[in-house]
Chain A
Amino acid sequence: MNTSIPYQDISVVYYALAAVAMPLIAFLINVCLPGKTNKVSGWMSTLGIFTSAVLSALVFAKIWGQQPLHIQQLWFTIGASKLYAGVLLNNLSVILLLLVNLIALPVHIYSTAYMSHDAGYKRYFTYLSFFCFSMLALVVVDSMYLFYAFWELVGFSSYLLIGFWFTKDKAVYANKKAFIINRIGDIGLLVAIIILFTQFHTADIVQLFGDNGLVAQSFIKNGIWIAPASQLPAVYQYIACAGIMLAVAAKSAQFPLHTWLPDAMEGPTSVSALIHAATMVAAGVFLLGRVYPIFNTAELNALAVIGCFTAFMAATIALTQNDLKRILAYSTISQLGFMIMAMGIGAYASSLFHLVTHAFFKCLLFLVAGIVIHQMQHIKEENNLDIDPQNILYMGGLRKKLPFTFITAIVASLALIGLPLTSGYLSKDGILIQAFEWSDGKSCYYRMIPVGAIIASILTAFYIGRLIVKVFFGEFRLQKINPHIHIHCNDGGWQFKLPLLFLTICCLFPLFSWNPLVYEHAWIFSAFSGPGFLERINIYHTIIPAGANLVNILVIYLAYSIYVKRNTFTFDQTGFFFRLSYNEWYIDRFYNSAIVKPILSLSNASSWVDKNIIDGFINLLKNIVLSISKITAWIDKYIIDGFLHLLTAIVQLIGNFARNFQSGKIQYYLFSMLAVILALFILKTLI
């Protein structure tokens, strides 16, 4: 079944399929390669992703801004329903296809150097290729069931990579947690798919969510959700949406399911850059983009609230963390919150735009973190120190030692904050402006969304300022504590520098718009929003960027002055807010005591029931049967047998009695004869 426009070039689909298949081929080759640290594996994976990147660029050039292409083929028939597998290439899928490749390629190159001394070098690239395959497949598939399949496979490859150092207990806990929390989201998605399939009899994304698709035609009336072919109670529409939100929350680390992401930082840093910052965690936003028509206004508002709250909460937590990667993880959560919020307020285009820009600058920040951690690790090993190489309290002044890294880090941070001339400015300010526009004319509670977003964005400036200052400015605190240590630091070889340079360029405005100040001119934005969005209808478009950036610059200066000059003041480290932030709002502890423990006790209880009640009942039955059999045995022995024994005893008695008469002594015989005759005589006389 071919639902595409007939005049289109079908070969694009083959390019797309090849782009998806290349990492899979690399994965399979790597599986077969001998040796644990076979360096060929790294180049295989890199070659695979490079080819894939080229192909996806071709696909992108042909599809972007054109008619979507949709090709499918029968996968299998179950009963009367046919399930198709196919490829759907529209603006959304091709931009992500390209994005994933553009992020993955530098990360692969970086990894060949970053992991070069690891004992599991081949395993690393095998997993990495597998991840790329699942992620690329996820963005192009056209069926909800397939989407679910790859959705879970990316979670699985993330599980493998988080627990890459599987002898480390913390890593193993972290990957278990990540998988289980993602499983919660998966269930939500599965339930949503089942509901959609029941309601619309198809799992095809185009048929369901296309223009004027089945979802768009369905409506809720009198508590019934009516679709063209069937109907369900309205509550199932809400459950389906809730399921999707759950899935999004799990994958994109939104409150309340965000807790796996900070722990996931136990994986190699290059993995964090690719999976837990740029690509996989953005899959939730991508899902929202795919199923956008299903949400009604109330559900969109819920999304906005979740996103805004997460953005704010994660930003507050990032303020006080000391682990370099954890700060970045919370920053990711916060930025994802912005994207989800943007979806909720209807800023669909800005949300996807931010997804793209965020992928570049966050990936860059993680790669920078990787270099810093690597250097700290070297220092630690060289001098036999007992320190945590990720703790920013030991760092400082690294700008002189790692100048190239320092510059890229600055660019990435400015993009994260959203200062002009960077890509982050274009995407983030778009979200903020549209949030204000959205809340206009609504009640004052709706105002909290844009205000919360602004606060979160200011906090962003502070925590990233703190991070940069603590790592790169001031003096090297580790050296201050141990003045005798040897320090050999450098930016690393071209495998480090080239990816960093590439990503730095991608963090700047020219890639996205010729106009560094006006987000509406960005080509990604205008492609997703369609015409008519170019009017700058009100004053927000000027005030918000100007105001926000002014505040941001002040805040950066504040962070600089606090942490470098130390002349203003220090924070109170015992206050309620500090502890709340430092302990990550106590959410993990709450989950442990409120959810994990009860479930474990429930499982123990059910095991107890099994052992004592069900088996107890069986044993009781057994005992009853045994006692009955004992009673019957007793009856058998004493009553039935007893009767027989009695009979034999009587017979024996009579026999013994009679035997007495035949003892063989002649006088007894004479006596008995006489007695008998006498008795006869007496009887005769008596009768």
Chain B
Amino acid sequence: MLTLLIFLPILFGFIIVVLPSSMRASFKYITLLATLLQLAISIYIYLNFKTGVAFGGIDHETQFQFLQKLPWIHLNLGSLGTMQIDYFVGIDGISVTLLLMTSIVMVVAALSSWEITSNLKGFFALFLLLDMALIGVFCSLDFFLFYIFYELMLLPLYFLIGMWGGARREYAAIKFFLYTLFGSVFMLLVMIGLYLSVKDPATGNHTFNMIQMMNPANYTPGSIFNILSHQTIFGISARTVGFVVLFVAFAIKVPVVPLHTWLPDAHVEAPTPVSIILAGILLKIGGYGIIRICIGIFPEVATSGAFWLGLLGVISILYGAFNALAQRDFKRIIAYSSVSQMGFVLLGIASQTTEGISGAVFQMVSHGFLSAMLFFLVGVVYNRVHDRDIYNFRGLGTLMPKYMVFIMIAFFASLGLPGFSTFIAEAFSLTGAFKSALLPNWLAICGAVGILFSACYFLWTLQRMFFGSVSLKGGDTWRAALVDLKPREIIALIPLALTALALGVMPSLVFDKINDSVLALVSFTKTFIR
């Protein structure tokens, strides 16, 4: 099932590549069809996902669902043993909601790709390749496979930003590429280190199996990442180094201040569908990686370093919010607000309490929908007049009343109005952070202040750009260009708004699925606290 989900997009991508360019008008429908099929499969998976203590997942391979494990690369290296890389996919509670969220956001991204006019074949082929990589990351349980999908994401993104982006697109694309490559190259080293340290108890081979990496008993005695061998790298405990390297790689994705500056540039230059994917899904891979890999494989380091993680989270919350307050580009504000909101994810994860981690996962899901919605909305104005400077607009609410409704929903949902998903996520991330024995209590209180500033920048934007009497920099040309939302746009926005509302009123839609995994994760990390 998961295999179908992962490789379905690439199948359609192949069709697009093979079709002659004269059929370019059909490409967007093919892509939409692919994403819709994918959504259908995801919904099927979500509905059939079993819950209960026996399906916790995390460090128990048998508790994962929709498992598929095929030997992939088994090289006999003579005296060095056998190299064992498996095609190993499966999901637990942490991944299932993110998977569904990804599928929904991809449909919206596909719908917003309507605006792309040049080189359609290339765009949609890369789009579907990216789609495959994203789903693959959330499903893979073999570190090698994970890494391949993880790197595979970069390539299409680089081209999507670099070729279809705005004025400074090359700069942004290179910056994005180097940032993330910087993270992943070192990740490769840690991955190899882990491979050399861990042996599959069944076959006796070294393995990339992530779940086996979570069990300290599988580490070869004396190997570099064995807890008991206390190996050091540059005088620092090897496991700490491993954790930090992996954390940095994922923190770049989240992004955590101070590793965030690729994000505003990439967002500002990227075309709307790519912004949606970037903010909606890509950032979640960072959070997902921290939960699954950093905490899963190095739980004792995560526990002892929890304060620093939490501090970085709070810094991201406040710093992102302050920066958003100072921007005048509509898209940059949203980009910085992403930094701020993803800070809650890190804070929640750092707390290592059930409330905190549930809140963090919930925030990832919620932010996936809302940031997609926000970037879509920014794209609406930008497409019409090719300007995003907040000072150039005034009174858009009078001009575009339907648009205004969605702007209000998206803004207030993002700033944590109860009834929408962000409120639940933020409230429980903070509750978890306060409850946590690992974090000082003032961290949670500082985090709560972030909620105030998110209100400030969103309300300021509303007041400056949407309220007041109509006055536009472009005069009557702009006034004519700024027509209200078209049906396609409304169709894309309504599911996002409704999901945000549904999650806010019935958080159990997410919590029911993730609870067992979160409990398993927390009890798993607890065993490492000494």
Is chain B found bound to chain A in the same assembly?
yes
Asked if A602 and B322 sit within 8 Å, CB to CB, the answer is yes
Residue from A76, A80, A153, A622 having most chain B Cβ neighbours under 10 A: A76
Contact B511 A172 (CB under 8 A): no
State whether the Cβ of A580 lies closer than 8 Å to any Cβ in chain B.
no
Residues 138-160 of A, flagged 1 when their CB comes within 8 A of B and 0 if not, give 00000001001110110010000
Q: Which of A161-169, A350-358, A387-395, A655-663 contacts B (4 or more CB under 8 A)?
A: A161-169
The SS class assigned to the A binding surface is helix
Q: Check if B247 is an interface residue, CB within 8 A of chain A.
A: no
The residues in A between 410 and 436 inclusive whose CB is less than 8 angstroms from any CB of B are: none
Partner of A183, one of B175, B258, B455, B468: B455
Q: Is the CB of B419 within 8 A of A190?
A: no
CB distance A179 to B459 under 8 Å? Answer: yes
List of B residues within 8 angstroms of A184 by Cβ: 452
Q: Of all chain B residues, which has the CB nearest A203? A: B431
Stretch at the interface among B41-49, B153-161, B372-380, B442-450: B442-450
**Interface hits, B258-276 → A, CB 8 Å:** 258, 260-261
| A186 interface contact, C-beta 8 A | yes
Within 8 Å CB of B327, what residues of A? 607
A519, B25: Cα distance in complex, Å:
80
- Quick one: which of A183-238 are within 8 Å of B by CB? 183-184, 186-187, 190-191, 193-195, 197-198, 232, 236
| Interface hits, B44-92 → A, CB 8 Å | none
Verify A187–B448 contact, CB threshold 8 A: yes
- B428 interface hit (Cβ, 8 Å): yes
What's the least CB distance linking B185 to chain A, in Å? 14
Check if A156 sits within 8 Å of B469, measured CB to CB. Answer: no
Residue contact A79 to B515, C-beta cutoff 8 Å? yes
CB distance from B282 to the nearest CB of A (A): 19
Give the residues in chain B near A179, CB-CB below 8 Å: 455, 459
Interface segment among B107-115, B117-125, B352-360: the answer is B352-360
Whether A77 and B445, one on each chain, are in contact in the complex, defined by CB atoms closer than 8 angstroms, is no
Given A198-B431, A606-B319, A606-B322, A172 and B418 contact (CB-CB distance below 8 Å): no
Indicate which residue in B445, B467, B511, B515 contacts A163 across the interface (CB closer than 8 Å).
B467
CB distance from B465 to the nearest CB of A (A): 11
Is A639 among interface residues, defined by CB-CB distance under 8 A?
no
Quick one: given A152-B418, A153-B418, are A76 and B512 in contact (CB under 8 Å)?
A: yes
Known: A156-B417, A603-B326. A79 touches B463 (CB 8 A): no
Q: Quick one: which of B358, B395, B462 contacts A78, CB cutoff 8 A?
A: B358
| A588 within 8 Å of B (CB atoms) | no
**Alpha-carbon distance A77/B358, docked complex (angstroms):** 10
A472, B177: Cα distance in complex, Å: 73
A635 at the interface (CB under 8 A from B): no
Q: Is B383 part of the binding interface, using a Cβ–Cβ cutoff of 8 Å?
A: no
B173 at the interface (CB under 8 A from A): no
- Given A606-B322, A607-B323, A194 and B419 touching (CB < 8 A)? no
Binding stretch for chain B, among A11-19, A49-57, A610-618: A610-618
Question: How many Å from the CB of B232 to the closest CB on chain A?
Answer: 27
| A79 contact from B322, B358, B459, B508, Cβ within 8 A | B358
The answer to whether A190 and B427 touch (CB under 8 A), given A180-B456, A606-B319, is yes
* Contact present for A167 and B467 (CB under 8 Å): yes
- Pair B417/A153 contact, Cβ less than 8 Å: yes
State the Cβ distance, A22 to closest chain B Cβ, in Å. 18
The count of residues in chain B whose C-beta lies closer than 8 Å to any C-beta of chain A is: 58
Q: Provide the bound-state CA to CA distance between A81 and B358, in Å.
A: 11
Contact A190 B456, CB 8 Å, known A75-B508, A172-B467 = no
Other-chain contact of B434, A79, A153, A198 (Cβ < 8 Å): A198
**Cβ-defined partner of B418 (8 Å) among A76, A148, A187:** A148
Inter-subunit contact B326/A172 (CB<8 Å): no
Give A675 Cβ to nearest chain B Cβ, in Å. 66
Using known A-B contacts A606-B322, A615-B261, determine if residue A80 contacts B512 with beta carbons closer than 8 Å: no
Q: How many residues of A contact B (CB 8 A)?
A: 49
CB of A648 closer than 8 Å to a CB of B: no
- Answer whether residue A604 sits at the interface, using C-beta atoms and an 8 A cutoff: yes
* B355–A81 touching, CB < 8 Å: yes
B438 CB to nearest chain A CB (Å): 14
- Once the chains bind, are A77 and B512 in contact (CB under 8 Å)? yes
A176 an interface residue at 8 Å Cβ cutoff? Answer: yes
B250 in contact (CB, < 8 A): no
| A-facing residues in B498-516 (Cβ within 8 Å) | 506-508, 511-512, 515
Interface status of A600 (Cβ within 8 A of chain B)? yes
Residue B133 interfacial (CB < 8 Å): no
A-facing residues in B406-442 (Cβ within 8 Å):
412, 417-419, 423, 427-428, 430-431, 434-435, 441
Q: Which chain B residues border A194 with CB–CB below 8 Å? A: 427, 430-431, 434-435, 444, 448
B449 contacts which of A78, A149, A187 (Cβ < 8 Å)? A187
Q: Cβ of A152: which chain B residues have Cβ within 8 Å of it?
A: 417-418, 423
- Is A582 interfacial (CB-CB < 8 Å)? no
Q: Does B238 contact A (CB under 8 A)?
A: no
Identify which of B175, B322, B358, B427 contacts A618 (C-beta below 8 A).
Answer: B175
CB distance from A506 to the nearest CB of B (A): 32
- Which B-chain residue is minimally distant from A31 (CB atoms)? B405
Can you name the residue of chain A whose Cβ is closest to the Cβ of B401? A36
- Which residues of chain B in 328-372 are interfacial with respect to chain A, using CB atoms and an 8 Å cutoff? 353-355, 357-359
7 A-B residue pairings within 8 Å (CB atoms): A76-B507, A81-B355, A190-B451, A603-B325, A604-B326, A618-B261, A622-B178
Chain A interface (Cβ within 8 Å of chain B)? 75-81, 145, 148-150, 152-153, 156, 163, 166-167, 169, 172-173, 176, 179-180, 183-184, 186-187, 190-191, 193-195, 197-198, 232, 236, 239, 599-600, 602-604, 606-607, 610, 614-615, 618, 622
Which positions in B face A, CB cutoff 8 Å? Answer: 175, 178, 258, 260-261, 319, 322-327, 353-355, 357-359, 395, 397-398, 412, 417-419, 423, 427-428, 430-431, 434-435, 441, 444-445, 448-449, 451-452, 455-456, 459-460, 462-463, 466-469, 506-508, 511-512, 515, 518-519, 522
Starting from the known contacts A79-B519, A152-B423, A603-B324, 4 additional A-B residue pairs (CB-CB under 8 Å) come to A79-B355, A169-B468, A606-B323, A610-B323
